[in-house]
């Protein structure tokens, strides 16, 4: 293998896939990037066998094609400390046991061991009957960002540890829940020919979001019962899906909520944060007392003689209501719903509150949050 490339281009390529390099692995070959060179195109792969990232970059002066596995950490550290300039990459020796991987730049060079590409595990994709779909990159990124914080860490119910993609030709909804809060993000911008669904684990979802944040254009995907493959730009992401059944989220969305609070989201968020400073550190409970035109928020920790109270004016219509919430859950939702004016709807103090952007907000039809109450005295 021998080719030339700018150091910045190679660094970008390996960084695009480096998030799939495992920190700990029983298979040492996975600590390497897989390089495959063919016809002036270098394909770079990284994998932990649950998640695989692959990207392609164009090179110049390709003398001989080939494939090798190169140490990831060494190459990243070298290129990060190398000013952008043309570099030459070439291997010496007839095989990995005898040869080395050389990086040559203007004023120096480095030599590293490399390993046989044959030792790198085969990356499996989806089956022939995989379902195909597509999203605008910014829509998929927004959908993941709007829901991922509500995922659970539940070994007993693994389906709750990811984002549920409920896809339909008319609309697609991304859903996440930890049983205390539930968030739905709905879009009509996704394209799919048939009703289908899958659960994407939050780890690859977070990695996908971080990559798509810099992407434009379309993301295409194909999935079957166990795997999903995303394609965007020159990059491909393959990951294993969570097996299991996601709960019927539509059944828990509260209906007929006669008590309605309309309030500035930032004002409510700041108030809850202030009052929650004096909440019990184990429970984080706060109480909201609602009456016409005003909202009172209180918290206390009797064990440490702490208490806080704040009253704010608001638009509230309904019966006088006292309801409790875990402040950290409420802060999560308020912090992640993109709107100026927020609406909270309540049936009573024992049933979940519905949290949505106000009707005049652009995001009003996209986001829906549900928060379970707690009993307060």
Distance CA 190, CA 166 (A): 11
How many Å is the maximal CA-CA distance in the chain? 82
Region(s) of the chain under CATH 3.10.150.10: 2-119, 131-251, 254-371
Contact residues for 39 (Cβ-Cβ < 8 A; gap 6+): 62, 65
Estimate the share of the chain in helix, then strand, then coil, as percent rounded to the nearest 5: 25, 45, 35
Q: What's residue 215's pLDDT?
A: 86
Distance CA 349, CA 376 (A): 9
Q: What's residue 377's pLDDT?
A: 65
User: Is 80 exceeded by the pLDDT of residue 96?
Assistant: no
Contact residues for 40 (Cβ-Cβ < 8 A; gap 6+): 3, 58, 59, 60, 62
Distance CA 70, CA 30 (A): 10
Identify which has the larger pLDDT, 255 or 14.
14
pTM of the model: 0.93
Residue 92: pLDDT band with limits 50, 70, 90? confident
Q: What's residue 99's pLDDT?
A: 79
Q: What's residue 185's pLDDT?
A: 97
Residue 302: pLDDT band with limits 50, 70, 90? confident
Distance CA 135, CA 322 (A): 42
With b for 16 or more beta-carbon neighbours within 10 A and e for fewer, the 174-211 pattern comes to bbbbbebbbbbbbbeebebeeebbbbbbbbbbebbbeb
Residue 177: pLDDT band with limits 50, 70, 90? very high
Question: Are 346 and 321 within 8 A, CB to CB?
Answer: yes
Give SS3 for 92: strand
Say how many residues make up the chain: 377
Q: What's residue 304's pLDDT?
A: 82
Question: Are 190 and 216 within 8 A, CB to CB?
Answer: no
Q: What's residue 349's pLDDT?
A: 94
Identify which has the larger pLDDT, 6 or 95.
6
Distance CA 113, CA 102 (A): 9
Write out the CATH class of domain 2-119.
Answer: alpha beta
Contacts of 360-367 with C-beta under 8 Å, sequence gap 24+, read: 363/337, 363/338, 363/339, 364/339, 365/186, 366/146, 366/185, 366/186, 366/187, 367/146, 367/183, 367/184, 367/185, 367/337, 367/338, 367/339
Mean pLDDT, residues 314-331 taken together: 97
Distance CA 203, CA 142 (A): 16
Digit-coded pLDDT (tens) for 103-153:
999 999 999 999 999 999 999 999 999 999 999 999 999 999 999 999 999
131-251 is classed CATH 3.10.150.10? yes
Mean pLDDT, residues 38-46 taken together: 96
Torsion region of 113: left, alpha or beta (phi above 0 gives left; psi -120 to 50 gives alpha): beta
Digit-coded pLDDT (tens) for 219-250:
999 999 999 999 999 999 999 999 999 999 99
**Mean pLDDT, all residues of the chain:** 94
Positive or negative torsion for Cα 261, 262, 267, 270: positive
Tokens of 144: 């993941």
Question: Are 17 and 45 within 8 A, CB to CB?
Answer: yes
Digit-coded pLDDT (tens) for 256-292:
899 999 999 999 999 999 999 999 999 999 999 999 9
Question: Are 356 and 370 within 8 A, CB to CB?
Answer: no
Q: How far apart are the first and last CA of the chain?
A: 72
> In this prediction, what percent of the chain has a pLDDT beyond 70?
99
- The CATH number of the structural domain formed by 254-371 is 3.10.150.10
Q: What's residue 212's pLDDT?
A: 93
Q: Nearest CA to 16 among 63, 79, 91, 67?
A: 79
Distance CA 202, CA 151 (A): 7
Identify which has the larger pLDDT, 87 or 376.
87
């Amino acid at each position: 293998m021998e080719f030339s490339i700018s150091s910045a281009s190679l660094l970008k390529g390996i960084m695009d896939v480096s998030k799939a390099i495992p920190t700990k692995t029983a298979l040492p070959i996975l600590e390497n990037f897989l390089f495959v060179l063919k016809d002036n195109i270098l394909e770079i792969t990284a994998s932990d066998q649950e998640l695989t990232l692959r990207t392609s970059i164009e090179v110049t002066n390709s003398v001989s094609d080939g494939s090798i596995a190169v140490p990831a950490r060494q190459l990243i550290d070298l290129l990060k400390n190398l000013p952008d300039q043309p570099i030459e990459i070439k291997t010496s020796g007839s095989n990995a046991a005898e040869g080395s991987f050389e990086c040559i730049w203007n004023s120096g060079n480095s030599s590293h061991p490399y390993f046989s590409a044959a030792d790198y595990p085969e990356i499996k994709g989806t089956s022939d009957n995989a379902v195909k779909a597509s999203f605008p990159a910014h829509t998929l990124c927004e959908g993941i960002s709007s829901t991922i914080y509500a995922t659970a860490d539940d070994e007993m119910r693994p389906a709750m540890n990811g984002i549920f993609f409920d896809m339909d030709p008319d609309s697609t909804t991304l859903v996440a829940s930890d049983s205390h809060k539930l968030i739905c993000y709905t879009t009509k911008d996704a394209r799919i020919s048939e009703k289908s669904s899958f659960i994407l684990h939050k780890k690859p979802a977070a990695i996908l979001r971080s990559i798509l944040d810099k992407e434009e254009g379309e993301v295409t995907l194909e999935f079957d019962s166990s795997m999903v493959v995303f394609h965007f730009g020159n990059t491909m992401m393959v990951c294993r899906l969570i097996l299991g059944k996601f709960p019927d989220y539509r059944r828990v969305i509260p209906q007929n909520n006669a008590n309605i609070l309309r309030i500035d989201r930032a004002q409510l968020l700041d108030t809850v944060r202030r009052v929650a400073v004096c909440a019990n550190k184990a429970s984080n409970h706060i109480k909201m007392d609602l009456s016409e035109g005003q909202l009172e928020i209180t918290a206390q920790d009797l064990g440490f003689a702490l208490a806080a109270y704040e009253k704010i004016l608001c638009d509230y219509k309904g019966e006088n209501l006292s309801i409790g919430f875990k402040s950290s859950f409420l802060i999560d939702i308020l912090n992640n719903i993109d709107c100026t004016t927020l609406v909270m709807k309540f049936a009573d103090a024992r049933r979940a509150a519905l949290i949505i952007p106000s009707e005049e907000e652009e995001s009003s039809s996209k986001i829906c949050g549900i928060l379970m109450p707690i009993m307060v005295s």
